[in-house]
Amino acid sequence: MSNIRFRLNGVETTVDADPDRSLLDIIRGPLRMTGPHFGCGANECGACNVIVGDHAVAACDTPLWSVADKDITTIEGLGSAREPHPLQRAFIAEQALQCGYCVSGILMSAAALLMRNPNPASDDVRAALDRNLCRCGSHNRMVRAVLRAAAEMADR
């Protein structure tokens, strides 16, 4: 066990745990945030994606030790029911989800893209979401939603 410190959704956080445990285990377990979902557990579906710095990573395949002193954002830090992020508003406007299981991971991939590239082309969005699986087949509407959010953010 060892103390690992990082910032989680802007809050200084210290976890006393096995540094080889996955970040997803820690977030969903002791930190009690259930936004990042467990899908494949093997870095193949993106359901567990969170943002570390300005890149989306699969939390199921990210050891705790590797996020020491880093900034981590989960879906809980993106927006809220009262103040949704433009991406969340756009996903609703475009009806870009069905069961919703994949969506928190997809929103984090999209948010990381917009942090690095506020004016993405459709191909940029498709590339950013390439490793996120959606069993409901909502990808085309998701791409439209990300472009809609980018346009709204550019107009602010």
Segment near ligand FES (CB under 6 A), from 85-93, 120-128, 133-141, 143-151? Answer: 133-141
> Which residue in 8, 60, 67, 128 binds ligand FES (CB under 6 A)?
60
> Which residue in 27, 67, 75, 134 binds ligand FES (CB under 6 A)?
134
48 part of the interface to ligand FES, by CB under 6 A: yes
Least distance CB 156 / ligand FES (angstroms): 28
For the chain, the C-alpha Rg in angstroms (whole number) is: 15
> Which residue in 138, 146, 148, 149 binds ligand FES (CB under 6 A)?
138
DSSP β-bridge partners for residue 7: 12, 71
Q: Which is nearer to ligand FES, 5 or 135 (CB)?
A: 135
d(CA 60, CA 38): 7
- DSSP H helices, the chain, are 23-28, 86-93, 103-116, 122-128, 139-155
Q: Which is nearer to ligand FES, 2 or 45 (CB)?
A: 45
65 part of the interface to ligand FES, by CB under 6 A: no
Residues 28-56 as b/e (b if ≥16 CB within 10 A, e otherwise) read beebebebbbebeeeeebbbbbbbbeeeb
Helix, strand, coil share (%) of the chain residues, nearest 5: 40, 15, 45
> Which residue in 39, 77, 86, 120 binds ligand FES (CB under 6 A)?
39
Show contacts with ligand FES in window 83-122 (CB under 6 A). 97-103
Find the angle CA(26)-CA(32)-CA(36) to the nearest 5 degrees.
70
Q: Which residues contact ligand FES by CB under 6 A? A: 38-41, 43-48, 58, 60, 97-103, 134-136, 138
